[in-house]
Amino acid sequence: MQVHVKMGLVALLAGSVIITYLCSFASKSLTRFFYTPPAQQKEISRAPKVRHIVLDESVVRGKRVFFIGDVHGCYDEMMQLLHKADALSDDTVVIFVGDMVNKGPKSREVIDFLRHSKVYAVKGNHEDHVLREYDNSQNPGYKLSQKYTWVGKLTLEEAQYLRDLPYTISLPTYNIIAVHAGLVPGRPLEEQSDYEMMTMRNLVKTADGFEARKRPTEGKPWAAEWTGPQHVVFGHDAVRRLQLYDHATGLDTGCLYGGNLTGLLLGKEKKREIVSVKSRQSYVNTAKV
Ligand SMILES: [Mn+2]
């Protein structure tokens, strides 16, 4: 008899645990299903006001240009690199090639620096992820996951800064375009896909040109297929580290993963120089593709 009572109690307990779990799961799903963003929120898109920016001769005349690869919140290394290249003076135009934030230790500090310095930056897939989470977190029922808790502290102005980062920055004087991930050859900038400019790594040849691929398992590195006429400076591809092609330079040398933070410095005589600093530690174990 006693055994039966015990078994009954165990069954009751197990049953109530399962029911509690199912209820919480159902309520989360229902919140997601029935949630309608506030009217004003609907009008906000993650796209910037201007997708492609041109820095003309008047901006770069007589100045050096310093492109910086994926910082990913590695604020200390970023400052060290800027000092090493003496890039904080007025005679240098600094351009970040995207993924300045997320995954690493000091994303807020990096955003603060970007907003209050006279530097330029393009939007990477991680800026886009941050904006997605920021927008989601405007819903009171939405819970930010552990890795995005820092996004909950962003101000509207900080989010707006990230939102308005362009996908490309062109420097006709140098015949250079900066983009986070890559460009599909033979396609004008206005016809490049926003998503592909932030995520592509490879190209697959098709009957009428190329198709972009996010994963590097199919096709060839896009930069190997890029024949100009512009030189493209990009990031995003930590696995391939420094990429030096005639018409493309890949600057993601995996600072986040214990590699380097790397920049490309164009001297006043248009001489190109790679400048890098060692990462202080491995903040994330392996580079995921
Ligand atoms: Mn990226």
Q: 260 is in which domain, residue-wise?
A: 51-278
Tally of domains in the chain: 1
Residue (of 277, 283, 278) closest to 87 by Cα position: 277
The string of pLDDT tens digits covering residues 231-276 is 999 999 999 999 999 999 999 999 999 999 999 999 977 789 999 9
Measure 181 CA to ligand 1 centroid, in angstroms.
6
In a domain, 207, yes or no: yes
Measure 289 CA to ligand 1 centroid, in angstroms.
10
* Residue 98: band (very low, low, confident or very high) from pLDDT cuts 50, 70, 90: very high
In a domain, 36, yes or no: no
Measure 5 CA to ligand 1 centroid, in angstroms.
59
Q: Which two tokens stand for residue 114?
A: 């970007």
* Residue 14: band (very low, low, confident or very high) from pLDDT cuts 50, 70, 90: low
In a domain, 31, yes or no: no
Give the three-state DSSP class for 24: helix
In a domain, 258, yes or no: yes
CB 235 within 8 A of CB 250: yes
In a domain, 60, yes or no: yes
CATH number of the domain to which 145 belongs: 3.60.21.10
Measure 124 CA to ligand 1 centroid, in angstroms.
5
In a domain, 233, yes or no: yes
In a domain, 30, yes or no: no
C-beta neighbour count of 186 within 10 angstroms? 11
Measure 216 CA to ligand 1 centroid, in angstroms.
13
Measure 87 CA to ligand 1 centroid, in angstroms.
23
* Mean pLDDT within 12-36: 48
In a domain, 26, yes or no: no
Measure 123 CA to ligand 1 centroid, in angstroms.
9
Residue 12 has pLDDT above 60, yes or no: no
Measure 17 CA to ligand 1 centroid, in angstroms.
41
Concatenating the DSSP letter of every residue in 89-153 gives STTEEEEE-S--SSSSS-HHHHHHHHHHTT-EEPPPHHHHHHHHHHHHTTSTT----GGGGGGGG
Measure 279 CA to ligand 1 centroid, in angstroms.
18
The string of pLDDT tens digits covering residues 105-144 is 999 999 999 999 999 999 999 999 999 999 999 998 999 9
